[in-house]
Structure 1
């Protein structure tokens, strides 16, 4: 019987290859964001806001999705608002919170970025599937 607690050379190689593939995708994503005049963090925040399964997106939600401290997320959202990419409106349930929404400008940028990201993920799918299978 194989002790699954013991990592093999193949396990280390699979982990290294998987991390490399993720880093390659992140570099692709960073270049895409830059080509649209966004930082990677701005792109990620816009995607979190647009991709939320609910309409009540707050700065706290952005902080959670991007693993940021609330004050850092507030600064990020402030910059997105200054760029005309996000609007804030008071929450009808809690006047202390503002609800965030992407502007049409942000939706247009996100559509362009998301189309290319989806194409890249589909291109990488066979390799990622094979890497994940090597983890078994």
Structure 2
């Protein structure tokens, strides 16, 4: 076999399949919990993710549209629409960036912050409840064989 050909992947062991399946199950349970919880509070899952991305943005309390597009893994125009809807609900606001007139800052409002604090505490509690089902899967070291 030449070095340019892809190598066959090393098959997973039964234990690795179980670990991977448990992790996937935990993620799915968490995501279902998240979707149901935010909807019961009048938000879409994307709005919650937007607010979380803003509050959790490294080093500051705001983000530009292009940064949000990257964080949310969405196209720029989709983020603009998402911000428009969240702004109409009073969750976020736009502000001019004093150091760069081309940049629009998106930041949480006090209502958005309060909503995020409540929802995020519920998410934290659910993650603690899920415990080991959400831990990263453990894979055997193929060099041990």
Shift of 1:30: 0.5
Unaligned runs of 5+ in 2: 1-8, 141-145
Deviation track 1:89-118 (CA, whole Å, cap 9, x = no partner) reads 111222111111101111111111011111
2:49 is matched with which residue: 39, 44, 64? 44
1:110 equivalent among 98, 109, 116: 116
TM-aligned CA deviation for residue 133 of structure 1: 5.6
Partner Cα distance (1:84, 1:128) in 2: 33
Kindly report the root-mean-square deviation, in angstroms, between the aligned alpha carbons of the 2 structures. Answer: 1.7
- CA radius of gyration, larger in: 2
Given that 2:90 and 2:111 are in contact with CA atoms closer than 8 Å, whether structure 1 keeps it comes out as: yes
Aligned to 1:57: 63
Q: Render the CA deviation track for 1:108-130: whole Å, top value 9, x for unaligned.
A: 1111101111111111223334x
SS at match of 2:95: strand
Partner of residue 68, structure 1: 74
Q: Is it true that 1:77 corresponds to 2:92 in the alignment?
A: no
Aligned length, in residue pairs = 131
In 2, Cα distance between equivalents of 1:94 and 1:124: 44
- Cα deviations by residue, 1:2-48 (Å, 9 ceiling, x for unpaired): xx823123222221221111010000001111011000001000110
Q: How does 1:1-136 map to 2 (within 5 A)?
A: 5-55=10-60, 56-129=62-135, 132=136, 134-136=138-140
